[in-house]
Structure 1
Amino acid sequence: MKISAQTVLITGASRGLGASIARSFVREGANVIVNYYQSEEKALALVEELGDKAIAIQADVRSEDDVRSMVDQGKAHFDQPITTIVNNALVDFRFDPGEQKPVGELSWSDFQTQLEGSVRGSFHTIQACLADMKEAEFGRIINIGTNLVQNPVVAYHEYTTGKAGLLGLTRNFAKELGADGITVNMISGGLLRETDASAVTTREVFDIIEATTPLQKVTTPDELADVTLFFASEWSRAVTGQNLIVDGGLVMK
């Protein structure tokens, strides 16, 4: 299915990487559901920018009821089911190396917050859209991960563990859903310059990334956003269960 014929749900899309992904899909003619949790003003401003191909819908992805209501609203608004999901939502985390808790100060609730945001939230969006995808024998599920799983430049323990869990979900769901024409893949960026979450990242961390990355630059949200178009397009129809690392070559795998 061409991107221009699709309806795309992007979680955490009111700002940062999510907003860049929304712009990329609208540019290619897709309908876009801009999900937000608390940033209503930013979500509405983005939809005003994008025009009638986008709608903003509030939902906490950790809530099954919220997600199912959002999916129903989106389907009704565009009069067609959701064909592509981009699980991008980030819950209560900022990439601040100075404030990152060391191992001895972490609590299980720190990990649980990130597991629920990454794994539980993605589980809810996929389940809410699964019946329609199976009926259409077409679906594209794109989970946003991180290269910190492979190369923890900073030990963001709880965040990275949540994304590692999401990678496991990606591969297991890909195994089961492939027979239904549904692909499930992950895109793992590095620290991006610049999002709300990375605004507190120190210059020293970005300098390390630039010095050790073949492209000698920090990846931007727009650069990563365009890669989501590949996984939603006809060109990726034979690709599933993959983790594509988009970080300028810092992690080669």
Structure 2
Amino acid sequence: MKPLSEQTVLVTGAGRGLGAAIARAFGREGARVAVNYRASADAARALCDQIGPNARAFCADVTDPDAVAAMLDEIASSLGAPDVLVHNALADFAFNGDARKGLDTLEWDDIAQQAETAVGGALNLIRALRPHFAAQNFGRVITIGTNLFQNPVVPYHDYTAAKGALLALTRTAARDLGPLGVTVNMVSGGLLRVTDASAATPDAVFDLIAAQTPLGHVTTPDELADAVLFFASPWARAVTGQNLIVDGGLVSG
């Protein structure tokens, strides 16, 4: 088993928001951190400067298998091949219930756009990392989901459908990769206070969620990031195919 301080971790969509918080959490524990970004170059480089010399920024669109392969070659040559994949990348999306598409205007392309990054990106990354995982008989894959599965308080149909498909892939991949010493799990948050994606959410919604949560506050990106560390740590070595909800107790699994 590899402790966090001996791991190379790839976090997709890590230039900002939750991904950045996850990258910082691994950096705090001494891991080598590959910060993937698609468009947030300046933010990704600034994050690496903040984390320290064990972090590097890598540009790639995870929906492009060739770009993923090239990125992994770059990571391997500078930090070492990734032992841990945290698939956080999200297609452009804003959590604004007033501006969301309802079923009367939603089109399949809306769902497909979200799924291409959530599910297609995960597939590209897992396929590319599989030979390395098999060679060392070790690997950790952690996907990012949502508690909207359990409580679609705002029916973001496209986003939730894509994340639901990602949960299915998480569980089937756990079965397929288990014999290689690889665990595959999901961490699902609720609305986070605050990321770029949730910045469009009115304060009244945050306050309403906080009032319904046993802990009395809306989960932060840093709090969810700490839960991601668990699945990469030796303490989670016998846990796979699971979906851990980190939302202060707002919903149950």
Does structure 1 conserve the Cα–Cα contact (< 8 Å) formed by 2:9 and 2:33?
yes
Structure 2: distance between partners of 1:204 and 1:98: 13
Structure 1: distance between partners of 2:223 and 2:101: 30
Does structure 1 conserve the Cα–Cα contact (< 8 Å) formed by 2:150 and 2:252?
no
1:172 maps to which residue?
172
Give unpaired runs (5+ residues) of structure 2: none
TM-score (norm: length of structure 1): 0.98
1:246 maps to which residue?
246
Local SS of the residue matching 1:103: coil
Structure 2: distance between partners of 1:70 and 1:102: 37
Give the deviation of 1:128 after TM superposition. 1.1
Give the deviation of 1:51 after TM superposition. 1.6
| Residue type of the alignment partner of 1:41 | D
Does structure 2 conserve the Cα–Cα contact (< 8 Å) formed by 1:215 and 1:249?
yes
Give aligned pairs, total. 252
Give the deviation of 1:212 after TM superposition. 1.3
Structure 2: distance between partners of 1:123 and 1:223: 27
**Stretches of 4+ aligned residues off by more than 6 angstroms:** none
Give the deviation of 1:185 after TM superposition. 0.1
1:230 maps to which residue?
230
1:95 aligns with 2:90: no
Structure 2: distance between partners of 1:205 and 1:168: 29
CA-to-aligned-CA distance 1:211-240 (integer Å, 9 cap, x gap): 211111100000000111100000000000
Query: Taking every aligned residue pair, what percent have the same amino acid on both sides?
Result: 55
Structure 1: distance between partners of 2:251 and 2:135: 38
Give the deviation of 1:131 after TM superposition. 0.4
Give the deviation of 1:204 after TM superposition. 2.5
Structure 2: distance between partners of 1:67 and 1:232: 21
Local SS of the residue matching 2:183: strand
Structure 2: distance between partners of 1:176 and 1:223: 30
1:144 aligns with 2:182: no
Root-mean-square deviation (CA), in Å?
0.7
| Residue type of the alignment partner of 1:65 | D
Structure 1: distance between partners of 2:205 and 2:134: 43
Give unpaired runs (5+ residues) of structure 1: none
Local SS of the residue matching 2:231: helix
Give the deviation of 1:45 after TM superposition. 0.7
CA-to-aligned-CA distance 1:8-39 (integer Å, 9 cap, x gap): 00000000000000000011110000000001
TM-score (norm: length of structure 2): 0.98
CA-to-aligned-CA distance 1:80-136 (integer Å, 9 cap, x gap): 221000000011111011110111101111000001010001111111111001110
